Amino acid sequence: MDVLSRIEESLDSLRPYIASHRGSVEVIDFDESDGILTLRLGGTCHGCAASTITLRQGIEVRLKQFVPEVKVVQAL
């Protein structure tokens, strides 16, 4: 399985929780040379003060655990 497929699979495990708060997450880009994943948080996540916590302590932790090629997760 390629890196983007594993990223999407990991995000799929988090999407129900994010959707329960009327939010969404979308992969925009992954720079394999630097390990930087760029995501777009949508719905109620966009602009929410807690979205930084969701990004760092939820999404980034899970992705680093299951997709070690991901070094940094950032949001647009």
The residue ranges of every structural domain in the chain are 3-75
Q: What is the pLDDT of residue 44?
A: 87
Assigned fold of 3-75: GMP Synthetase; Chain A, domain 3 (3.30.300)
* Torsion over CA: 66, 36, 1, 10 (sign): positive
Predicted pLDDT of residue 55: 86
What's the pLDDT score for residue 74?
94
Contacts of 4 (CB under 8 A, 6+ apart): 27, 30
Each residue's pLDDT expressed in tens, for the chain with a length of 76 residues: 899 999 999 999 999 999 998 999 999 999 999 999 999 999 888 778 888 888 888 999 999 999 999 999 999 8
